[in-house]
Structures are given as structure tokens and as C-alpha cells.
Amino acid sequence: MDLDIPADVTTFVAELNAFIDAEIKPIEEANPEYFDHRREFSRTDVERGGIPTRRWREILHEARVLADQAGFYRYPLPAALGGQDGTNVAMAVIREALAGRGPGLHAELSHEASMVANAPLALVLHEYGTPEQKEQYLERLVSGDMEMAFGLTEPDHGSDVTWLETTAVRDGDDWVISGAKRWNSVVDVAEVDLVFARTSGQDGKAEGISAFLVPTDAPGFEVPFYWWTFNMPTDHAEVRLDGVRVPSSAMLGEEGRGLDCAQLFVHENRIRQAASSLGAAQFCIDRSVAYTQERRLFGQQLRDYQGIQWQLVELQTEAELVRNTIMRTAWQMDAHGRTSVSDKVSMVNVRGNRLACDAADRAMQIHGGVGYSRHLPFEHIYRHHRRYRITEGSDELQYRRIAASMWGFRSTS
């Protein structure tokens, strides 16, 4: 294993940073209220349930289009989608570098928006879609001309997805779907929702769950409210499906094998979350180190106090250990397949996401009162990355996957 970052990836990151400075930062400067201490208030449409404002969506889309036109956005996608088949190693480096710049339009992770695509649903559609489904949705999804939501979690079922209660019953050439979904992100602007429902089999078994591309304007598809969360704005909908009828052509992948689609979605995201969390943690560490050299306390620089030094030394040591393990895990994924080291992916997911929360918390403490304010980015980083310890599988679910590898039992999550 070559531990050096490939030269082409180093070049890509340098060119990406130059693009962000030249094309993306000016957008932030022209819209300061969306990026300073007022950001949540400017981005949140309180009157429409706390979802992102139309203007904020427009800003995100504008940056995405610029990145696509410049050749950066599709980098990790397959060549068939206009991408460069970016490796897991490359994406780990890129995601860390983007988050390492600190919060901004270049990697607005509260919406999983980035100048380099994190588009697991495009990969799912590319892998499992029929020619007709790809023709109808795929290019528009990649270009940003449409959005697709992901409906797996339910009011009574999160990590225990094999117990979901949403059902789909065949009626002639159609399927009739009934049930409810929770944290159904992006529904406020989505054209279709990828809904998982049991079509056969027994509760607790992965077999028998199917995936459907459900139009969000279909009769019986309702959004009663959006959940207000620790990090705002929110696009996490509560969805009800009351006898929603879709044709058989709406099924994505094989009947009864829908969780294959879900596994591809979350597995891609888990290691990328870890890399982003590492980048955010390194940003917090670097900013704190710089502050300790500027701030004076009782006539001495803050850096001269061992109580401060050791907090940051501990974080930097953990960051280096996480970084090395992420890179090795990404290399193994590239060499042996995406799901070959799922236990290692879970390990770096847990440690990376915890590190981001710890680093943001300590940065707030080291910066004192101003660190707790919205005028510095640490509270924003904490609120976002705290979410990562739940999404794409909670810390506890990651432990279950690790245990499955250690004791040789099967994990379906």
C-alpha cells in the first residue's frame, strides 16, 4: 500500500481550492447574511415549516452549476455519468480538504451540498435503475434539475429497518403503498421519493422489502409537517402514504431486494462522513492553535499553559490516527470492493464523527465566550456533525456491524 496521496488527487485539490476562491467565495461575499452569524435566520423559511428558503436553495444551486461547468462536481461519479470514477481514497482526501476549509458554500454539509458531488442516489439509480428509469431521472438528478428524496426511516423504526411497517400490495399492474416515513429529507423540493416498503416476507427479514420511485405529487402522498432540528433549516419531512398507487415500472431493483439499494446509499456515505468530520475537526484544531498564540492570559500567551496544550495535543493525535485509518480503509475499499471492509468503515465513521464533535466543543471552550457565539463557526460545526452520529446509522448501529464481523453473525443494517 502506497501511503502517499496520488499526485493527480493533490493537483485536483489545489485546482479545486483555486476555483472556490475565484468563483464561490464571491457568492458568499455578495450574500453575507447567509454565511455570518445570521445564517440560520436567513436560510430558514419559518412560515413554511422551517424548510430552506427559496433564495438559499437558489444559492446552493448556483454554486453547484458553477462546479459542474468547471468539471469538479461529477469527479467521483462513473464515467457513464460524466464523472472520472473518483476512488474512495481520492474522495476521502477531497472531503477532508473541503471540510478543512471551514463552513461555507463550497461544502454546505447541513444539506450535503458540495462542489464535488456526494450523490449516493445517483449511484443507486445508475446501479439498479432500468433503462427507462435512468432515461427519465438520472441526468436531471446529477445536473440538479430535479431532486430525489430517500424514504427509509419510519416513525417507529429507524435502525431496525427490517421491521418497517410500510407495505406495498400488488393490484393488477400497479402497487398500492401505505405507511409513513420520518426524516424524509429533501421532500420539499423532490420530484420523486425513493420509498421502501414490505412486499412479502416476514418482519425482521431483509428479504421481501422493495424500493419504489414514488412521485411526490401522487394522490395519497402527504407531508403533514417538517421536524425542527438542532441544525436549521430543516428539510426532514414526516410523510404519510395513504394508498399511493404506482405502476410496476416504479420499482427500483429486484422485487424483495430493495435493501440492496439502501445499503449502497449508506455505505458510500459512511466513509465520506468520516472524512468530512476529520476535516472539520482539523479546522477546529488549527483555528484553536492559532488563537492560543494570539490570546494573552495573565500576561502570558494562552499556548504556554499545558492545560490548553494537552487538550489540543490529544485532539491532534486522534485526528492523525483517524486520518491514517480512513486512508487505509478507503484503499481497501478500492482494492477489494465497496462492502469488503464494512466493519472498518463503521469504525472510522464512529471515531471521525465523535472527533468532530469533540474538536468543536473544545474549540468553543478554548475561545471562551466568543467561541460559544454564532460569530465564530464552532457551534455551527458542532450542531451539524452531531447529526452524523445518528444519520447513516447511529454510533450504536456501527458497533453492531463491528460486532457482526468480530463474532461472525450477520448484520442487515
Rounded distance, CA 244 to CA 242, Å?
6
- Please say if 392 is a catalytic residue: yes
CA distances from 123 to 76, 80, 83, 134, 262 (A): 10, 11, 11, 11, 11
Amino acid occupying residue 306: Q
Q: Which residue has the cell 466493519?
A: 343
CB 198 within 8 A of CB 164: yes
C-alpha cell at 350: 464512529
Rounded distance, CA 227 to CA 234, Å?
7
From the candidates 112, 320, 392, 396, give the one annotated as an active-site residue: 392
Rounded distance, CA 96 to CA 306, Å?
28
Rounded distance, CA 7 to CA 333, Å?
20
Which residues, 6 or more positions from 84, have their beta carbon under 8 angstroms from its beta carbon? 74, 75, 76, 77
CB 111 within 8 A of CB 233: no
Residues known to be catalytic: 392
